[in-house]
Amino acid sequence: MTATEPAPKVSPFQADLREYLAHLGVERGLSEHTLAAYRRDLNRYARFLTARGRDHFSDVTEGDVTDYVEALRSGSDGGHPLSPSSTSRAVVAVRGWHRFATLEGRTEHDPAATVRPPSGVKRLPKAISTDEVDKLLAGASMADGVLGLRDRALVEVLYGTGARISEAVGLHIDDLDLDREAPSLRLFGKGRKERVVPMGRFAVEALEAYLVRARPVLAQGGRGSSVAFLNQRGNPLSRQSAWAVLQTAAERGGVQAHISPHTLRHSYATHLLSGGADVRVVQELLGHASVTTTQIYTLVTPDTLREVYAASHPRARG
C-alpha cells in the first residue's frame, strides 16, 4: 500500500469483535480452539449485519438476529448451511456478543436476548433388540465365579425393571421382594421419589443365585453393607464400576451396538410399548414425572412403518 492509498475500511463491528474476543481470551480464559470457533461464527454475523446496512449495535433488531439464524440453517447469506448443533453454537456466540455490547454501553437494548437456538432433530432413544439383550446377558455370565453371578443379576435387573443405574447400585437388601407370587423392587428415583416395580422370573432367578451363592463371598471383605450389589472388596458397587460391567459384558457377548446403562432403560420401555403396554403404565414404571417424557418412546420407527405398510396396503403384497 502506497502513501496515497487510503487504508482499508474496517467496519465498527470488526473493531468491536476484536475487543470481545480479547475479553473472552483474557477474562474468560477460553482456549484457542474455542476462540477460533467464536471468531469464525461472529465474523460471519458481522458480514451479515454489514450487508443489511447495519453499522452499530444500536441499529440491530431482533428481526436481524432471527433472520441470521435462518441464514445459518439455509445458507441464504452465501455461507455454508449449518447443522442444528452448529447453528446453536453460533447463536450462543451471537447472544454473548450482544450481551457484552449492552454491558459495555454500546447500545441500550439487546436484540438477541429472547432469540433461542433452534431445537435439534428429535431422535428416538437407542434401544437394542431382544437378541442383543440375550447376547449381553450371556456376556455378563462369562465373568469368573461370583462376579459372573453378580453381573448377570445386575443386567437382569437393569433390563427387567428399567431402573436407572443410580437406582440399581443404590438397592439395599430390604428393597428386594423376591416373593414368587409378586416379586418387586423398591426404587428411589430423582428427588428420592419412591416407586415399586414388578420383576419377571429371569430377574428373580438371577438375583436369587447372586444373593445365595455370590454376595456372601463378596461381603466377606467388606464392612457389612446392606447394599445389594457389592464389588470385589465387599463395598457397594459404584456407578462407574456398573458401567464397566456392561461394557465388558457387551464385548464378551459380541454386542455391536453401543451399550450404556440408559440403553437398557430405553430398551425396557421400547419393548414394553411394542408389546402393547399403555404409555401411562410405562410412565409409572420408569418413574417419569410427566407422561410427555415417556411419549418419546411411542414415536414410530422406520421398521414399524415398513411392517405396517407391508401388512396393510393392498399394493404392498406381492
Residues with active-site annotation: 164, 190, 262, 265, 288, 297
Of the candidates 91, 113, 107, the residue with the CA atom closest to the CA atom of residue 59: 107
Secondary structure in 3-state letters for 45-110: HHHHHHHCCCCCHHHCCHHHHHHHHHHHHHCCCCCCCCCHHHHHHHHHHHHHHHHHHHHCCCCCCC
C-alpha grid cell for residue 233? 472388596
306: left (phi > 0), else alpha (psi -120 to 50), else beta?
alpha
Burial environment of residue 277 by CB neighbours within 10 A (0 to 12, 13 to 18, 19 or more): middle
Element holding 153 (H helix, E strand) = helix 145-161
The order of strands in the sheet holding 176-177 is 176-177, 184-188, 194-198
Cβ 175 vs Cβ 187: under 8 Å: yes
Length of the chain: 318
φ, ψ at 158 (rounded to 5°): -60, -45
Of the candidates 275, 250, 266, 270, the residue with the CA atom closest to the CA atom of residue 132: 250
CA dist list (Å): 96 to 36, 111, 187, 202: 15, 11, 42, 53
Cβ 253 vs Cβ 128: under 8 Å: no
